[in-house]
Amino acid sequence: MISRLAEGPLHTLFGTFRELLYDDGHQESIALVMGQVEQGQDVFCRVHSQCLAAHVFNSLDCDCREQMALAQSLIAHHGRGLIIWLNQEGRGHGHLALMRSRALQAQGWSQTEAYQRLGYAADARDYTRAAEILQDLRVRSVRLLTNSPQKVQNLQAAGIHISSTHPLTVDPGTNERLRRRYAEKIQQGHRIPPEYT
Burial of 189 from C-beta contacts in 10 A (0-12 / 13-18 / 19+): exposed
Q: From the candidates 123, 129, 143, 181, which is the catalytic residue?
A: 123
What secondary structure letter does DSSP report for 18? E
Task: Mark whether 126 is an active-site residue.
Answer: no
Using DSSP bridges, classify how beta strands 3-12 and 15-23 pair: parallel, antiparallel or unpaired. antiparallel
Q: From the candidates 46, 91, 125, 143, which is the catalytic residue?
A: 125
Half-sphere exposure of 16 (CA within 13 A, CB side): 3
Residue 57, Cβ neighbours under 10 Å: how many?
10
Backbone angles phi, psi at 97, to 5 degrees: -65, -40
Say if residues 15 and 32 touch (Cβ distance below 8 Å). Answer: no
Task: Mark whether 123 is an active-site residue.
Answer: yes
Across the strands, what pairs with 162?
Answer: 142
Distance CA 21, CA 133 (A): 10
Residues annotated catalytic, as ranges:
123, 125
